[in-house]
A and B are shown apart, each in its own frame.
Chain A
Amino acid sequence: MAQPGTAKNVSPEEKAEKIGDQVLALDVKRVADWIQALVRTLKAYRMYLPNNPTLHKFQSDLEARTWSCLKEIGDIVLNVQQFDLLFEDYSVYHNAAREESLAFRFYTDGVRQMTFREGLEPQELRGLLDVLKKATDPSQGQDDVVTLLWERDFRHIEYVHISIDEIVDESSATQDYEPEAGAIEGGIPWPASPTAAEAEEEAPRTASGESVVERSDDWNPKAPIKSSWDESMGVQFALSEQESKTLHESIVVEEARPLLNEVLEIVAAILTSEEEPTSFLESASAFQKFIELALEEGDLARANQLLSRLRTIAAQRAETHNEFRGLAEQVIREIGRPSFLGQFAPILNAHPELDPGLLTNFLVQIGASAAGAICDLLGQVNHMKHRRALCEALAISCKDDVDVLISRLGDPRWYVIRNVVYVLGRIAHQGVERALDRALHHEDVRVRKEAVRALGNIESPTSRAFLVSAFRDPDASVRIQAALTLAQRRDDRAAQSIWGAISAPEFAKRDQAERRVFFEALGKCGSDSFVPRLSEMLTKGGFFRGTNEEERMNSALTLAWLGTPKAIEVLNRELISKREPVRSAVEAALETVRNAASAGKTPRRGDEMDDDPPASDSPPAGGKP
């Protein structure tokens, strides 16, 4: 608004110009907001199911903005630049990220202008969103925008595009191809007409007696040709109503044709008929593309089925062509290349519903060659059940060769290392203890804890030694984990190690909860040999002499967990002790163990996946021994 008194100093032309500028500024903002709404809705399309209320909200907002814009401004003309959409020479959209920029998507396919006409209908707007969705969705192959717009045949949306040659010229992406002189003769000359002499000269000679056949594409007349038609024949070429109906039905059938299945049958038939290794490999590669397509579409069941089918065909053919099996495996290994499997992470993240069992099965079918790529995926996949499936696949695929996994222990991402350590623990391959020891000294406590668990799965003196060394870990949770893990071995050597830790001077400095877990661990793996020492701790002190009540409680608990006749004898004896602290300690210990037993589980505090972080920094929970 002009301030009072200032109008006098402005000429009518300037005033008009100023008003014009304000109107333009308003229009530019309107269009920019509208495009933003379009982009938001497009994102919502990818995130929500079609019946989601949030998506409906976005759609309604977009529609309201669209009609309002067209009503206020009239036809909207947007000029397309590489990363910008311009309205009246002002940028109303800018996004330089090539993978997601709407402007860039239009620009690369040659669209240079878009016009939205007044009268744009709701179904056209939805159609446009559909076009944009297809054009920007990598899983749909990012179809050509011009083709998508052309197919829709919008009445109120027009577009101007340049030819593909001009796009190429502009981007200088590729050089125009100039076939060398004679190049065409080398490959696709059909049916260029060299002289008969030339053809005979070039063609290999026919071996004597070799069979010859007619040209496939020749149509020799079998009947004499009349020089004119009898017009009365016209009737037989007129399509009857029934025939027209039949043709119409065949169009409907064609539209609904299960194209993918049909093509798969064709490719499978071709593969089954191949005789030469190179041809077999080529056909198997075509099969591979369909497997990859299934994966890109998140159809794991189909991907599994196709993989199995490829193997089955190769196995059948191997009866006569032994090398075909190896060629099929070569193709299958190719699917596990990091450049391809790496693209799978966004698909997994977008489809939490994907069956982890199918995922594991598929990855296992690809084999150990995919291990590196699967490790990469571990760092990118958000859903825990998918990570678990990936780990499961690694545990199976790398059973006989853990080198890839060990090499991944140097990954800069702690959560990847943690998952790999978990897998190593699942495999429990003797000889990986040293690698796990490295993880035992990782700066992140979660990795160290996982390393303790993994070592727990390996039955070897080395793993035992490394577990005991974890008692000196600076973090209490790792020490606790080590004690519980060692206790699971339920042997006297484990108990001796735990007793050693309990007896060490620094043990007294640990916090109360940790001390209690160590005693419990001792109770779970110890034997009668510890009963005298525990009994002494339980009854230590007299009526008038003070003692460590916490130690008394822990020793009672340890005896209760030991549960041997000798231990129970001590507890029964002290249950009627005249010394109330001793009696109370025994009563509390028995209560604790009874509760744990009735709950059907042993206390597992240290065994839980504590501080399990969200998203990609979490290892697979559950499925652990």
Chain B
Amino acid sequence: MSGPATRASVPSGQDASTQRILVQGRNLAMQLCVLLKTARIHDVGNVAFHGPLVNFIETVDQLYTAEGEFKLQAVGDFLYINQGRLKLDGSSYASYQYLIDEFRNRGLSGFAFAGKVTPPEVKKFVRLFLDVDVKASDPYVDFSGSLTKLSVEHLVPLRTVVPQSGSINVEEARDSRKVAKRTFYRAIESTKTVMLSARDKRPVDLRKAKRAVQSIVDLILNEEFSLIGLTAIKNHDEYTFQHCVNVSILSISLGQRLGLSKKMLGELGVAAILHDLGKATIPGWVLNKPGKLTAEEWKLMTDHPVQGVKMISKLRGLNELALRAMIVAFEHHLNIDGSGYPKLGDHLAMSLFSRIVAIADCFDAMTAHRSYRKTPFTPYEALHHMLVANKEKFDPLLIKAFVNTVGMYPAGTVVLLDTNEIGVVTEHNSHEIFRPKVKIVADRDRKHVDGAIVDVSHREPGSDTYTVGIVSALNPEEYGINVADALT
């Protein structure tokens, strides 16, 4: 798909002004969404419309002052403000998706803001936008003509760029990706709700987490789209919750490989989501302390499995699921070699679920940004540490099964191919754990490209020779590669 494309996104560590524009872009998108939704209920002359209108105009004003003419555009499943992709998170997902769908229905990719806007102009724009006959042969033309007729000059519609080839397959693939992403972000939202409720001692509705996990299990069982790839996108703002969902996805994937029943996968997924619930009781400054911990802080930190047990015990009903979750919360920092914590009583052997979650937890935690470590490990490095330096800590059979689940170059790993191209691993091949699918992100001249997905397990026809091979894993930051772009 063309458009601003992947290079347009802003790599992490961009300057403050870019970050500010992205924040304002997010506000703009959210406000436009509120504006359109309000106008569906109330007339634009209604007092209820006034607040959203003022907010929207103010944001346009700020952006125009900073950037001059700017664009809000949908490309694929993302929104862009000029060249910067707006960061997707649980709380913005629904609003962004609403705008993308509304734009798409009208044959629009978005709008250019050609100047500061006035209330009458925005009101006319909103009315016309909502009045567009989406069933018309070319709604864009109708809408564009109406805007011109009513002298709406500062909001310029931009036409959708039609995909070039394989429309049906592209659409299908896009839909399954969309479902996967929706599932993923909803799971993060549900986890957030559950954890915040538990933290604030409000009643916890576990049904949300259960439903989220059920969707994840269904997706994994149907193998429609690799959710593991999504776990490699670390969104710092929501990471606390995303970590829980990532651990759940990785655990379910591993559980599926082991042959767990659907019911057990559901229970494993929920237990994994709740594994760090006890961290809700640890003060932020301890969790985020960049340096070493004092004995007291360490005690707090190592107490979170116990706190998790206590918090889960407060949930309504102590059914099988809750019991499994308590065991996992208690055991997930214990290691197979007897190390780890908490050390209480003569604890029996770790449960299978706990051993699974311990692996998934470690893998995801190592690949996340930490306040006390400048750069996270890449998925490749994380796996390397788990398999080599820390292998005695994990169940040897499960770690093998895990490797077979995520591959030796897990999704999100940046690799140098023997074609001298650089790519990001998007998905592993279960039959060839060293040979995943790789999206090309830089050509042999090290220029960023929105390249094709290459299957490294592919062989020359009639030959045993692979068409392409992996030379080495790379550090994405050294090459200015944004892994998230390739994975979404």
Which of B450-488 touch A at CB < 8 Å?
470-474
**Shortest Cβ distance from residue A362 to the other chain B in the assembled complex, whole angstroms:** 18
Give the contacting residue for B351; candidates A196, A257, A283; CB below 8 A. A257
Given contacts A211-B294, A254-B353, contact A190 B327 (CB under 8 A): no
Q: Which of B135-143, B153-161, B280-288 contacts A (4 or more CB under 8 A)?
A: B280-288
> Is there contact, CB below 8 Å, between B240 and A255?
no
Given contacts A203-B289, A227-B473, contact A146 B295 (CB under 8 A): no
> Is there contact, CB below 8 Å, between B433 and A237?
yes
> Is there contact, CB below 8 Å, between B352 and A191?
no
Bound-state CA distance A293–B473 (Å) is 53
> Is there contact, CB below 8 Å, between A262 and B292?
no
> Is there contact, CB below 8 Å, between B237 and A192?
yes
In the complex, A186 has a CB within 8 A of chain B: yes
Chain A residue contacts of B264, Cβ below 8 A? 251, 254-255
Chain B residue contacts of A126, Cβ below 8 A? none
Give the contacting residue for B434; candidates A187, A196, A226, A229; CB below 8 A. A229
> Is there contact, CB below 8 Å, between A228 and B313?
no
Chain A residue contacts of B288, Cβ below 8 A? 189-194, 199
> Is there contact, CB below 8 Å, between A151 and B348?
no
> Is there contact, CB below 8 Å, between B236 and A192?
yes
> Is there contact, CB below 8 Å, between B318 and A289?
yes
In the complex, A218 has a CB within 8 A of chain B: yes
**Shortest Cβ distance from residue A17 to the other chain B in the assembled complex, whole angstroms:** 34
In the complex, A272 has a CB within 8 A of chain B: yes
Give the contacting residue for B320; candidates A184, A229, A259, A265; CB below 8 A. A259
In the complex, A214 has a CB within 8 A of chain B: yes
**Shortest Cβ distance from residue A61 to the other chain B in the assembled complex, whole angstroms:** 30
Given contacts A210-B294, A229-B408, A259-B320, contact A239 B372 (CB under 8 A): no
Chain A residue contacts of B324, Cβ below 8 A? 259
**Shortest Cβ distance from residue A145 to the other chain B in the assembled complex, whole angstroms:** 10
Chain A residue contacts of B301, Cβ below 8 A? 215-217
**Shortest Cβ distance from residue A231 to the other chain B in the assembled complex, whole angstroms:** 5
> Is there contact, CB below 8 Å, between A199 and B294?
no
Q: Which of A52-60, A240-248, A473-481 contacts B (4 or more CB under 8 A)?
A: A240-248
**Shortest Cβ distance from residue A525 to the other chain B in the assembled complex, whole angstroms:** 59
Chain B residue contacts of A140, Cβ below 8 A? 317, 319
Bound-state CA distance A184–B258 (Å) is 36
> Is there contact, CB below 8 Å, between A286 and B309?
yes
> Is there contact, CB below 8 Å, between A200 and B290?
yes
Give the contacting residue for B400; candidates A151, A200, A239, A267; CB below 8 A. A239
> Is there contact, CB below 8 Å, between B258 and A270?
no
In the complex, A172 has a CB within 8 A of chain B: no
Chain B residue contacts of A461, Cβ below 8 A? none
Which of B318-338 touch A at CB < 8 Å?
318-320, 323-324, 326-327, 330, 333
> Is there contact, CB below 8 Å, between A141 and B317?
yes
Residues 254-279 of chain A, each 1 if its beta carbon lies under 8 Å from chain B, else 0: 11010110110111111011000000
Bound-state CA distance A516–B223 (Å) is 91
Residues 176-218 of chain B, each 1 if its beta carbon lies under 8 Å from chain A, else 0: 0000000000100010010111011010011110110010000
Give the contacting residue for B389; candidates A177, A218, A223, A266; CB below 8 A. A223
Closest to B318 in A: A293
Chain B residue contacts of A153, Cβ below 8 A? 262
Which of B68-93 touch A at CB < 8 Å?
none
In the complex, A290 has a CB within 8 A of chain B: yes
Residues 146-172 of chain A, each 1 if its beta carbon lies under 8 Å from chain B, else 0: 110011010000000001110000000
**Shortest Cβ distance from residue B299 to the other chain A in the assembled complex, whole angstroms:** 10
> Is there contact, CB below 8 Å, between B344 and A147?
no
> Is there contact, CB below 8 Å, between B345 and A265?
yes
In the complex, A513 has a CB within 8 A of chain B: no
Bound-state CA distance A250–B255 (Å) is 12
Bound-state CA distance A202–B237 (Å) is 20
In the complex, A323 has a CB within 8 A of chain B: no
> Is there contact, CB below 8 Å, between A223 and B397?
no
Chain A residue contacts of B293, Cβ below 8 A? 212-216
> Is there contact, CB below 8 Å, between A199 and B292?
no
**Shortest Cβ distance from residue A167 to the other chain B in the assembled complex, whole angstroms:** 8
Bound-state CA distance A369–B207 (Å) is 35
Which of A284-322 touch B at CB < 8 Å?
285-286, 289-290, 293
**Shortest Cβ distance from residue B378 to the other chain A in the assembled complex, whole angstroms:** 9
Bound-state CA distance A217–B203 (Å) is 29
> Is there contact, CB below 8 Å, between A251 and B258?
yes
Which of B213-230 touch A at CB < 8 Å?
214
> Is there contact, CB below 8 Å, between A248 and B259?
yes
> Is there contact, CB below 8 Å, between A259 and B316?
no
Give the contacting residue for B323; candidates A203, A223, A263; CB below 8 A. A263
Total chain A interface residues with beta-carbon distance under 8 A: 88
Closest to A293 in B: B318
Closest to A215 in B: B372
Given contacts A164-B205, A213-B295, A246-B397, contact A144 B240 (CB under 8 A): no
Residues 438-477 of chain A, each 1 if its beta carbon lies under 8 Å from chain B, else 0: 0000000000000000000000000000000000000000
In the complex, A185 has a CB within 8 A of chain B: yes
Give the contacting residue for B208; candidates A164, A188, A218, A231; CB below 8 A. A164
Chain A residue contacts of B42, Cβ below 8 A? none
> Is there contact, CB below 8 Å, between B434 and A234?
yes
Given contacts A259-B324, A263-B323, contact A199 B211 (CB under 8 A): no
Bound-state CA distance A189–B310 (Å) is 20
Bound-state CA distance A190–B403 (Å) is 27
Bound-state CA distance A228–B380 (Å) is 9
Bound-state CA distance A120–B469 (Å) is 51
Bound-state CA distance A170–B370 (Å) is 40
Chain A residue contacts of B351, Cβ below 8 A? 254, 257, 262
> Is there contact, CB below 8 Å, between B433 and A199?
no
Bound-state CA distance A153–B265 (Å) is 13
> Is there contact, CB below 8 Å, between A199 and B371?
yes
**Shortest Cβ distance from residue B372 to the other chain A in the assembled complex, whole angstroms:** 6
> Is there contact, CB below 8 Å, between A290 and B295?
no
Bound-state CA distance A282–B195 (Å) is 19
Bound-state CA distance A205–B50 (Å) is 49
> Is there contact, CB below 8 Å, between A286 and B263?
no
> Is there contact, CB below 8 Å, between A193 and B302?
no
Chain A residue contacts of B333, Cβ below 8 A? 216
**Shortest Cβ distance from residue A239 to the other chain B in the assembled complex, whole angstroms:** 6
Chain B residue contacts of A3, Cβ below 8 A? none
In the complex, B57 has a CB within 8 A of chain A: no
> Is there contact, CB below 8 Å, between A234 and B433?
yes
Bound-state CA distance A260–B262 (Å) is 22
In the complex, B98 has a CB within 8 A of chain A: no
> Is there contact, CB below 8 Å, between B284 and A187?
yes
In the complex, A221 has a CB within 8 A of chain B: yes
In the complex, A549 has a CB within 8 A of chain B: no
In the complex, A225 has a CB within 8 A of chain B: yes
Query: Which of B301, B327, B344 lies at the interface centre, i.e. has the most chain A CB atoms within 10 A of its CB?
Result: B344
| Sampled A-B contacts (13; CB under 8 Å) | A140-B319, A147-B266, A177-B193, A190-B284, A192-B236, A192-B288, A193-B371, A199-B288, A212-B294, A243-B397, A248-B259, A259-B327, A286-B314
The 5 closest A-B pairs by CB, nearest first: A141-B317, A269-B345, A227-B472, A286-B313, A259-B323
List 20 extra interface pairs beyond A193-B371, A272-B345, A286-B313, CB under 8 A.
A109-B207, A151-B263, A177-B196, A190-B282, A192-B284, A200-B290, A206-B294, A212-B295, A215-B293, A216-B302, A228-B472, A251-B258, A251-B259, A262-B348, A263-B323, A265-B345, A267-B309, A270-B310, A285-B313, A289-B318
